[in-house]
Structure 1
Amino acid sequence: MTWVLVALGGAAGTALGVFVAQRQGRRLAWTAAVCALMGAFGAQKHSASLTALVSFGVLGSAASMVALGVAPPIWLDRGAILPTALRVTKRLAVYCAVGVTCALAGYLALRGGTTLYVKLR
């Protein structure tokens, strides 16, 4: 049953990735939001079914939007190989840095808020 939930969540995450891929100017913001949600979801204890569906399924597939955000390689001639490789590497580094930073921020925001709520209660 867990694999079915992961597959269903993956289909939803892929649909989200295709939706975001059509939005040319907002891919980085969507990637940041999805990674922040993944970090926040990782901060809490959930049932195995919910974790399979949301974390591994939807957010795991939607996080692969990083691959959609990378510039497609265009090999025109031998002189274009190095500039294209550098452009793809730079864009991938930016997407990974934003994703990791937002995942950490989401995790820390939820953990910090939970801790503050428990201490002030």
Structure 2
Amino acid sequence: MRGFGELEAAIMDRLWVRGEPTTVREVLDDLRPERDLAYNTVLTVVDNLFKKGWLRRERAGRAHRFQPTASREEYGARLLRDALDEAGDPAEALVRFVGRMTADEAAALRRALQAHERGAA
């Protein structure tokens, strides 16, 4: 899995922030203060995200409302998993990654590992 392109990421960000099914028009309105985009451009990217499985849609009159199929955190976890899969030595990549963590991030990782171990027992 590759990460989202620039416009895909901006659209997903708006959808994650909204947290509710959203029309393409609403996404476009959210993006307009920062970008001059055509409706059809946003529609095409949203449709591509739907076809890739990142969005679900529901009918809303003549339009559709879209909502992410995964949380922002799940997306990040998938990227991390893919990065480990691509690393020559995943264990060494983890050691180097942990070496760059802040104290708060390391504490969060410890808690996540403890929770994982409790769930696996």
> Normalising to structure 2: TM-score of the pair?
0.26
Greater relative contact order (CA < 8 Å, ≥ 6 in sequence): 1
Greater helix percent: which structure? 1
Between structure 1 and structure 2, the one with the greater Rg is: 2
Higher strand proportion, which one? 2
